[in-house]
Amino acid sequence: MEERFRELYESRAKIIKALAHPTRLFIIEELQKHERSVGELTAMIRADTSTVSKHLSVLKNAGIVADEKRGTSIYYQLRTPCIMNFIGCIEEVLELNAKAQMDILKCCRK
Amino acid sequence: MEERFRELYESRAKIIKALAHPTRLFIIEELQKHERSVGELTAMIRADTSTVSKHLSVLKNAGIVADEKRGTSIYYQLRTPCIMNFIGCIEEVLELNAKAQMDILKCCRK
DNA sequence: AGACTATATGGCTATATTGCCAAATAAGCA
DNA sequence: TGCTTATTTGGCAATATAGCCATATAGTCT
**Distance in angstroms: CA A72, C1' C4:** 12
Tens digits of residue pLDDT in A51-110? 999 999 999 999 999 999 999 999 999 999 888 888 889 999 999 999 988 887 776 554
B109 pLDDT above the threshold of 90: no
B35 pLDDT above the threshold of 50: yes
**B46: left (phi > 0), else alpha (psi -120 to 50), else beta?**
left
Of the pLDDT bands very low, low, confident and very high (cuts 50, 70, 90), residue A1 is low
CB-based contact (8 Å) between B91 and chain A? yes
CB-based contact (8 Å) between A15 and chain B? yes
- In our burial notation (b when 16+ CB lie closer than 10 A, e otherwise), range B66-91 reads bbeeeeeeebbebbbeebeebbebbe
Pick from A13, A15, A93: CB nearest B15 = A93
Of the pLDDT bands very low, low, confident and very high (cuts 50, 70, 90), residue B3 is low
User: What are the strands, taking DSSP E only, across chain A?
Assistant: 36-37, 65-70, 73-78
Give helix A22-33 / helix B3-19 axis angle, nearest 10°. 110
- How close B110 gets to chain A, by Cα (Å)? 26
Q: Return the nearest residue to C6, CA–C1'.
A: A73
User: Is the Cβ atom of B55 within 7 Å of strand C at any atom?
Assistant: yes
CB-based contact (8 Å) between A3 and chain B? no
Give burial (CB, 10 Å; 0-12/13-18/19+) of A38.
Answer: middle
CB-based contact (8 Å) between A26 and chain B? yes
To the nearest whole percent, how much of chain B has pLDDT over 70? 93
* pLDDT for the residue numbered B85: 84
B15 close to B58: Cβ distance less than 8 angstroms: no
Q: What is the rounded average pLDDT of the residues B37-43?
A: 97
Q: What is the rounded average pLDDT of the residues A36-64?
A: 97
B18 pLDDT above the threshold of 80: yes
* pLDDT for the residue numbered A39: 97
* pLDDT for the residue numbered B13: 97
State the DSSP H helix or E strand holding residue A104, giving kind and residue range, or none if neither: helix A83-107
User: Is the Cβ atom of B35 within 7 Å of strand D at any atom?
Assistant: no
Pick from A6, A63, A87: CB nearest B12 = A87
State the DSSP H helix or E strand holding residue B30, giving kind and residue range, or none if neither: helix B22-33
User: Is the Cβ atom of A63 within 7 Å of strand C at any atom?
Assistant: no
* pLDDT for the residue numbered A2: 58
DSSP SS3 for B70: strand
B63 pLDDT above the threshold of 80: yes
| Weakest mean pLDDT among A54-58, A102-106, B13-17, B80-84 | A102-106
